Structure 1
Amino acid sequence: MRIISGEFKGRRITAPKKLPIRPTTDMAKESLFNIINNQYYFEDVSVLDLFSGSGNISYEFASRGTRNITSVDQDFGCIRFINETAESFGMQIQTIKSDVFKFLEKSKTKATIIFADPPYDFTVEQFSKIPELIFKNDLLDADGLLIVEHSKYTDISSSKNYSHSKSYGANMFSFFTLPSSDEEE
């Protein structure tokens, strides 16, 4: 995997083979960041990277100037790899070793962009629980964006605050936003 843009553009990151990860492809990641770039200034956002795995998405945000990044994963090897990689690049990434669902139940940390890349073999109910917990616990900023990566064979469009999906090969990103105050009335 490589960093697509920003200060560390072109840098390759090689995760140990023993990590339980499925990194977002470079093509899908580039398309996703083009979408985000049209809506936000990277320097102004806070990011919560759930099921962060290798840290691929966190590095991309850090390379583009985001300073407030929290990566959550339950695998100690993944957390250690993110810490080592971030330190070697001089990136500011806070890591939390936790089951993501337990973290979402207890967290009070709000973010502008929340990215979740759970295992593709999750059930629809497990995928749907991610936006459910985020919105129930008010973890997304009012102008924020929740992005859930999943297989094109998984449909989570009935989840609360679903906006739309974009497909890139076998990868799909579903986007969720809070309704504007006009829509709530």
Structure 2
Amino acid sequence: AGFERSAEAIKSDAVKFIGNTNKKYTLIFLDPPYDNPVTHILKTLYEIAKKNCVVVFPHGINQNLTDSINLFTKLKSRNFGKTVIDYYTLDK
């Protein structure tokens, strides 16, 4: 019950959303195209991420994302068939 009051689901292009909000978040789920994960989003996502924010970044198994992107560091990676879910945290 408490989570629902503090959660917010946003269906939007991430780059446009980042440029149009001044809120800060502690947990962010991304849903990029699996064949072309847009890692450039992580390069600007720090603008709306609170310290120690966790970003959940699913992508296709053929994509290999680096352990560090801008100010984000990969916490772990989980494989689910043809999908990989990477978890990044903000180190600021």
Q: Same fold (TM over 0.5)?
A: yes
Which residue pairs with 1:71 in the alignment?
9
Report SS of the residue matched to 1:166: strand
1:68 Cα offset (Å): 2.1
**What is the aligned counterpart of 2:69 among 159, 169, 173?**
159
Greater share of residues in helix: 1
Coordinate RMSD, CA, aligned: 2.1
The answer on 1:120 being equivalent to 2:34 is yes
RCO higher in structure (CA 8 A, sep ≥6): 2
1:1-185 to structure 2, matched below 5 A, reads 43=2, 65-73=3-11, 98-122=12-36, 124=37, 127-135=38-46, 137=47, 139-157=48-66, 158-160=68-70, 161-163=72-74, 164-179=76-91
Find the aligned partners of 1:145 and 1:129 in 2 and give their Cα distance: 16
**Unpaired runs of at least 5, structure 1:** 1-6, 8-42, 44-64, 74-97, 181-185
**Unpaired runs of at least 5, structure 2:** none
Structure 1 or 2, whichever has the larger Rg, is 1
1:177 Cα offset (Å): 0.9
Structure 1 residue ranges (4+ consecutive) displaced by more than 6 angstroms after TM superposition: none
Find the aligned partners of 2:62 and 2:77 in 1 and give their Cα distance: 12
1:128 Cα offset (Å): 0.8
In structure 1, give the amino acid aligned to 2:69: S
Find the aligned partners of 1:112 and 1:66 in 2 and give their Cα distance: 15
The alignment-based identity, stated in percent, is: 24
In structure 2, give the amino acid aligned to 1:67: R
In structure 2, give the amino acid aligned to 1:149: P
Greater share of residues in strand: 2
Alignment length (residue pairs): 89
